[in-house]
Homo-oligomer: A and B are copies of this chain.
């Protein structure tokens, strides 16, 4: 294993919704953050976001040295990345833009500095074409929004990404309490967004077919199978669903019925009419509750669930790095 400099200073390139949330997370983990974004008012918006996110991060546990005062902002890209140990890039999802940006970053940064993209839509194989000298240090590290609350980080390399970069990236995000997954092939939507899309397709189908209201399909998910999906994944739950015979028995019993049930699943076409039906049903569910109120409710329980699963002390201290390497 190569000895490399510990990652202590992060450059955030792009401080929109995702970049701001990453910034808050890194600060809470006791890291130095230098952020840059060309938008007017970017610094004020960023500092406002970090301040608003801080109470939740305190509740989950700050790391030693964590402070909002470790945040610097500069409008200048070169100054932002000078001395950075890792760049978290959250620029617009346009391939030409990202290729040009990675060209600049590649010239500005020593070869051992990882450039990690939050991209959900553009494969790293395309992005890293711009980094002519050291494409091997470029990797996708895709969070699940908002990164400061949701622990998942999807790690995907492009054709030219080195295993060393993937290993170091995974170690870094693991060390700050993230739950990383290694995606071995570049896929549209990585993994988590695909799972969301698969579920949403059937949800929309059932509501637009008039089988169930939005309120009732939400009850069915969140008081039924959804209760377990924030605890364990589908495969492990299948293993337990097989009883003492485990996953083998599960497939003996259910592979046939499951495959049959797939034939009956829906493939809705989201016409304006069907969208209106979904929208109307959601409004009937929401009633007079405001978005702020609902968000607060969601995030309160989310924090509680994360605490249940990690314990506050575990969340506060960087976890022992798992043996991925």
Please, which residues of chain B bring their CB within 8 A of the CB of A246?
A: 282, 286, 291
Q: Kindly state the separation between the CA atoms of A202 and B233 in the bound complex, as whole angstroms.
A: 13
B194 x A152 contact (CB < 8 A): no
Kindly specify which of A70-78, A107-115, A157-165, A234-242 makes contact with the partner chain: A234-242
Q: Does A321 contact B (CB under 8 A)?
A: no
Please, which residues of chain B bring their CB within 8 A of the CB of A228?
A: 230, 298, 302
Cβ contact of A203, chosen from B181, B187, B195, B223, cutoff 8 A:
B195
Q: Kindly state the separation between the CA atoms of A184 and B214 in the bound complex, as whole angstroms.
A: 13
A residues neighboring B (CB under 8 Å): 144, 150-152, 154, 179-185, 187-189, 191-203, 206-207, 209-240, 243-244, 246-248, 251, 255, 258-259, 261-262, 264-265, 267, 269-270, 275, 278-279, 281-283, 285-286, 291, 294-295, 297-298, 301-302, 304-306, 308-309
B279 x A251 contact (CB < 8 A): yes
A236 x B261 contact (CB < 8 A): no
Cβ contact of A298, chosen from B202, B225, B231, cutoff 8 A:
B231
Please, which residues of chain B bring their CB within 8 A of the CB of A227?
A: 150, 230, 302, 305-306
A200 x B278 contact (CB < 8 A): no
Question: A277 CB to closest chain B CB, in angstroms?
Answer: 11
Please, which residues of chain B bring their CB within 8 A of the CB of A184?
A: 210-212
Please, which residues of chain B bring their CB within 8 A of the CB of A294?
A: 232, 236, 239-240
Q: Kindly state the separation between the CA atoms of A203 and B229 in the bound complex, as whole angstroms.
A: 12
Cβ contact of A224, chosen from B152, B213, B234, B248, cutoff 8 A:
B152
Please, which residues of chain B bring their CB within 8 A of the CB of A150?
A: 223-224, 227
B258 x A233 contact (CB < 8 A): no
A217 x B240 contact (CB < 8 A): no
Question: A28 CB to closest chain B CB, in angstroms?
Answer: 17
Q: Kindly state the separation between the CA atoms of A233 and B202 in the bound complex, as whole angstroms.
A: 13
Question: A189 CB to closest chain B CB, in angstroms?
Answer: 5
With contact pairs A216-B181, A229-B222, A251-B278 given, residues A202 and B209 touching in the complex (Cβ less than 8 Å):
no
Cβ contact of A191, chosen from B215, B220, B279, B308, cutoff 8 A:
B220
B230 x A230 contact (CB < 8 A): yes
B183 x A279 contact (CB < 8 A): no
